[in-house]
Amino acid sequence: MSLSRRHFLSAAAAGTLAAPLLAPRAAHAQAEVDEARSIDVITPDTQKAIDRGLAWLSKRQILSGRNKGAYGHGGYAGGVAVSSLSGLAFMCSGNPPGQGPYGKSIDRSVEFITSCVQDSGYISVPGFGQDNMYGHGFATLFLSEVYGMSDRSDIDTTVGEKLRKAVKLTISCQNDQGGWRYQPQKSDADLSITICNIMGLRAARDAGIHVPEEVRDKCIDYVKKSQNGDGGFRYQITSGGGSTFPLTAAGVVSLYSAGIYDGDQVEKALAWLMKYMPGSGSGNTGYFFYGHYYAVQAMWHAGGSHWQKWYPAIRDLLLKRQSGDGSWSDSEVCSEFGTAMACIILQMPNNYLPIFAP
């Protein structure tokens, strides 16, 4: 096991790892943002909602057949994106692979995702129309967290081998602008898919997988060029489109993942997001869970008043939206997706997953 991975394991266990794609946050800045955070924001009612959500999600895992270990239904049944996010939701509660009440569910997810790693390194279910570089990015993130947080020999070998293939594939299809698109090939790019793969690469690097400097430099350049003058972020750097809530949230997380923690770009983007406080009715329409998955990460990294205002707002909104059976409905993807995302968002203060560490 490499020194960097041993550091990952010990830091992950302590909830203190912060290894961005480029440079670490200055110590004094880290201390300032830590003062703003408290586990107390996970109220008893919030924990009950999380417990109900995870219990519902665990019962939705496919237990037999080709897609054993997968999640999802309808057009998204058995895809790698929803399955990876579901595994991450369990890990956010402090369950490493094979341990805790959801350890077996995570193990089944690992078996499913590793079975989907093709010889090329592309992570997808052959013939499944919804799998694309979104799924590949989320799956790379999940496998990276599993690989970094477990010292089991089976994970060291199987997951390590598959993860290196996946990272190599990601690197090979980064386009000249620094981004990624739907298919595992060099073409045009968009910010939404790009951030999924930035997060996957950052997590892999944190776990000791080599990611070349030039890949990270190109990521930063692409993200910076995606920001509009109003501080928000657009879909493609070539489109000239307007800023949107999901893309701006993803853009801020991209900056943080690249080691850019302050400055005009970050401040303008955070100010743009704060106009769309959860529950305010200020145009937060479309891709609700995707947008808030990134928005809560952005505010968690920002700390201070940003976090103190944002988390209670999204927490209370999600508690109101939870269904009687413990799930969260999502009409754009599926309820497994909505429930996994809601549980990840609500558990952000646990700070168990190194990829989310500020």
Place of tokens 């490493």: 96
| Type of residue at 135 | G
pLDDT at 234: 94
Distance CA 263, CA 199 (A): 21
Is the pTM higher than 0.75? The answer reads yes
Contact in structure between 233 and 191 (CB atoms under 8 Å) = yes
pLDDT tens for each residue of 317-331: 999 999 999 999 998
Q: Which domain holds residue 53?
A: 3-353
Contact in structure between 160 and 151 (CB atoms under 8 Å) = no
**Residues of the chain scoring pLDDT < 70:** 1-36, 129, 282-285
Cα–Cα distances in angstroms (integers) from residue 236 to residues 89, 192, 223, 243, 354, in the given order: 29, 9, 10, 10, 29
Distance CA 173, CA 245 (A): 27
Structural domain includes residue 295: yes
pLDDT tens for each residue of 117-152: 999 999 998 877 678 999 999 999 999 999 999 888
Measured from the Cβ of residue 147, the count of other Cβ atoms closer than 10 Å reads 26
Tokens standing for 183?
């298919």
Structural domain includes residue 316: yes
Map residue 180 onto helix, strand or coil: strand
Per the DSSP assignment, residues forming a β-bridge with 342 are none
Contact in structure between 173 and 232 (CB atoms under 8 Å) = no
Q: What is the mean pLDDT of the chain?
A: 88
Structural domain includes residue 142: yes
Contact in structure between 187 and 175 (CB atoms under 8 Å) = yes
Structural domain includes residue 45: yes
Distance CA 34, CA 51 (A): 26
Question: Under the phi-then-psi rule, with left for phi > 0, alpha for psi from -120 to 50, and beta for the rest, what region is 229?
Answer: alpha
Cα–Cα distances in angstroms (integers) from residue 240 to residues 170, 188, 226, 243, 344, in the given order: 26, 14, 9, 9, 32
Measured from the Cβ of residue 176, the count of other Cβ atoms closer than 10 Å reads 9
CA dihedral 23, 29, 30, 31 (to 10 degrees): 160
pLDDT at 34: 62
H or E element in which residue 142 lies: helix 133-149
Structural domain includes residue 358: no
User: Into how many domains does the chain fold?
Assistant: 1
Angle formed at CA 205 by CA 204 and CA 210, multiple of 5 degrees: 105
Structural domain includes residue 91: yes
The CATH code of the domain that includes 66 is: 1.50.10.20
